[in-house]
Structure 1
């Protein structure tokens, strides 16, 4: 059986060199190279969704891959796709890097400039390991997809457009339909998830920032189990501690959550930080919430362009959620789609702040009445995104009938901006 090898190489010269050598390896079936970390993860996730047997046995990660640093990318691949053997290609063959690569989950290190003998030896060893892992998984009787849980980020085009409430309701819908769900407040300095749900907890996402190996026990100690069953990982009470959560820490935290929960929803706020950028980049689905007014739509366009320039996310891979929508407003979803170049969710959220005010002021947004058009729309959006088991599962469990495609408009935002 040929060994499938997927190179992840961003440098054109390195691509030619590696491709030439791979074509000479015995029983090798090189796969078309991917140019960056996002493309690699997307490719592996797509293959894993079909079957573990579709995944390549070996992935080669070049040291100059981007935008995610090579060691962090190795760690993510090893965690999300444990049946894939990862080999790091680097000009640094020191014991220190070798140890760091092994700690990150690599199965080998090949030094630059590439040697045919070294490459063939390492590829064959890693391929044999990968085949053994798959055989073990196959005999274990468990269904293995390799992709881990679904990660959804919710960002605001600007402050007060309703990203936090949207994130909370999406998480509640996923949990109510039977998915183990985590809700993370990644708005590190001004996060209000705790206020919306009226909870106080001494641990926060900042407590995980300095931990390089987040075990299930460590993660369990950091999350707060809400009455609804949703696991909460809150923003730090002291906003300045948000600086402790670097982009690298965020990647490790998201990866740890993905490995434990079926759905992970992150409220990323409206301000871009290294941590929120890493979360958006890693997300399976990235939502950007806007309202149908000129200022907010311009802010959404700026955000989309910035994500694209920084190679965080392409416009066509971002989904706009229109909040406070009314049929009478001049700016309708098709126009927003045209202006931003993104996809637009089919479910718009209606404007009915009177439904929300009491629950928001009391910090009990999880107790919104099932007749609330706002809740119906947001839970319908969860169905559209595929984070509930069936379109009607959430409604059945909560005792109400939710209509996923409701239109109207909603006026909601952060607790401090209820008048906006």
Structure 2
């Protein structure tokens, strides 16, 4: 996909420098720089009047733009043209300015003197965010319009087994393959997805709970458009408000998400209630995450039995994922399968918290390095589950059916 970039730079020397670097970015289509804030807003308004698709994906705002100051200009662009990703270019890369830029609506900050790597990274992130917003608004040729996406629930056998990390990485894997993805947090009292992705939000799943008919516009208003392109439906900041989300609301919300996305990942946490029970019942794939220790495996067995007693999900319809696996532990995946009666995924996620700690502490799970053994395992699991789009001509990717190691997909029962 070509990324259209519009620089707003008043200084001729800075404009030449930025334009030169932009022309070197892969799949970039930089426009001629505009010299002032008025020209930028007029051009964006003219393009928007023709079509949302005519707007550039990324606008670069130089710190010395005028007459409107850079931060005020960013705020104006973000309010009037929310599908455009704005990046600030500044010699001040301090946390204070970064925070002020984010509060104004910027999607990134590039320091001066310009670095090709940093510029490429920020432009790519802003472009991905812009494409995600347009997709959720219902514009563009890649809007999902199929018969209904795949819903995957991720539950933890007990607290602390890593279910949220796996849910987030599965969603990132599906999104990276080009699929429209929604990631929902149904751990209503203690959801951590917002912290893992370091997002500040005002709307949550609670805003959809009392709505009888969830239209695409209403759904879009409740979703947080993440820079990766994913739509995030987050748990409420006030945990006590989770009680407002009941099973009826969840059925409507999951149906709305399924109709607008190819892949819907739902983090159900570890506590059972009517809300996440409804999601698990509706899911095409249900994952139960455990660690290879006695306490966690016993908890997984109790969870599976409870689901069966409540007629939510049968054990054989549940996929157990062994997280923090080591070769030396006595409890190996085949034993987990035998004890719980579930089907255990072929891929176990290795124990390597050193890889995770920096991105977890920073709230930047999307920045987990490609060579990370944890990321490779979870993204491999996404392939095993059929959540990633296969490259053209590759018939080996996607959902595998029929063989012993495959993961089956169950379409939701009508209620």
Using structure 2 for the length normalisation, give the TM-score: 0.59
Pair 1:288 & 2:304 matched: no
Q: Which runs of 4+ in 1 moved over 4 A?
A: none
Query: What is the distance in 1 between the residues matched to 2:269 and 2:223?
Result: 19
Show the counterpart of 2:386.
Answer: 386
Structure 1 residue 390, shift from structure 2 partner: 2.0
Aligned residue for 1:337, secondary structure, equals helix
Could you list the runs of 5+ residues in structure 2 that have no partner in the other structure? Answer: 1-143, 394-404, 406-415
Show the counterpart of 2:271.
Answer: 271
Deviations 1:32-86 (A, max 9, x none): xxxxxxxxxxxxxxxxxxxxxxxxxxxxxxxxxxxxxxxxxxxxxxxxxxxxxxx
Pair 1:237 & 2:237 matched: yes
Give aligned pairs, total: 251
Show the counterpart of 2:249.
Answer: 249
Deviations 1:233-275 (A, max 9, x none): 0000000000000011000000000000000000000000111
Go from structure 1 to structure 2 and tell me whether the alpha carbon gap of 1:144 and 1:268 turns closer, same or farther (over 3 Å shift): closer
User: Is the 1:383–1:391 contact (alpha carbons within 8 Å) kept by the matching residues of 2?
Assistant: no
Deviations 1:167-213 (A, max 9, x none): 00000000000100000000000000000000011000011000010
Aligned ranges for residues 329-344 of structure 1 at < 5 Å? Answer: 329-344=329-344
Measured on the aligned residues, the alpha-carbon RMSD in Å equals: 1.7
Query: What is the distance in 2 between the residues matched to 1:180 and 1:165?
Result: 20
Show the counterpart of 1:52.
Answer: none
Aligned ranges for residues 318-333 of structure 1 at < 5 Å? Answer: 318-333=318-333
Structure 1 residue 392, shift from structure 2 partner: 11
Deviations 1:90-146 (A, max 9, x none): xxxxxxxxxxxxxxxxxxxxxxxxxxxxxxxxxxxxxxxxxxxxxxxxxxxxx9964
Go from structure 1 to structure 2 and tell me whether the alpha carbon gap of 1:319 and 1:173 turns closer, same or farther (over 3 Å shift): same
Pair 1:211 & 2:211 matched: yes
Aligned ranges for residues 127-166 of structure 1 at < 5 Å? Answer: 146=147, 148-166=148-166
Structure 1 residue 391, shift from structure 2 partner: 7.7
Aligned residue for 1:207, secondary structure, equals helix
Go from structure 1 to structure 2 and tell me whether the alpha carbon gap of 1:339 and 1:391 turns closer, same or farther (over 3 Å shift): farther
Query: What is the distance in 2 between the residues matched to 1:279 and 1:232?
Result: 16
Query: What is the distance in 1 between the residues matched to 2:381 and 2:391?
Result: 10
Aligned ranges for residues 292-371 of structure 1 at < 5 Å? Answer: 292-371=292-371
Query: What is the distance in 2 between the residues matched to 1:308 and 1:392?
Result: 40
Using structure 1 for the length normalisation, give the TM-score: 0.59
